[in-house]
């Protein structure tokens, strides 16, 4: 699964084998079930996410309590979750 991440990264930079090894040792691949909330509105993100397989939906809750989707992240995409909604 980490090979998918390295394939993505090579679009932007060149990594030596040693650099890839160092990154691979520091990365934790985690499978999450559909419906899992990665970050709640108002929380500050302390992690980076990369979609290896599946899809992540980013949304907020508006004043009326309605879910408002702001982005979808699909396979081979980095997830940029910023605390934009207070």
- Segment-wise mean pLDDT, segments of 10 residues, the chain, 86 residues: 84 92 89 91 85 92 95 88 52
Classify 10 as helix, strand or coil. coil
- Residue numbers of the domain that contains 54: 31-86
Helix, strand, coil percentages, rounded to 5, for the chain: 20, 25, 55
User: 20 and 45 in one domain?
Assistant: no
Task: Give the total number of structural domains in the chain.
Answer: 2
**Are residues 65 and 77 located together in one domain of the fold?**
yes
Torsions phi, psi of 67, nearest 5? -75, 130
Same domain for 56 and 20? no
What pLDDT was estimated at residue 33?
Answer: 93
Does 20 share its domain with 40?
no
Q: What is the pLDDT of residue 83?
A: 52
Which pLDDT belongs to residue 14?
Answer: 93
Indicate the helix (H) or strand (E) that contains 74: strand 67-74
Q: Are residues 36 and 54 in the same domain?
A: yes
Residue-level pLDDT at 4: 86
Q: Do 2 and 43 fall into the same domain?
A: no
pTM above 0.85, yes or no: no
């Amino acid at each position: 699964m980490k090979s998918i991440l390295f394939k993505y990264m090579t679009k932007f930079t060149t990594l030596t084998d040693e650099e890839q090894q160092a990154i691979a040792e520091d990365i934790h691949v985690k499978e999450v079930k559909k419906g899992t909330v990665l970050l709640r509105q108002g929380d500050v993100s302390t992690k980076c996410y990369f979609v290896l397989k599946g899809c992540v939906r980013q949304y907020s809750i508006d004043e009326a309590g309605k879910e408002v989707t702001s982005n979808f992240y699909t396979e081979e995409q980095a997830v940029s979750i910023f605390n934009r909604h207070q």
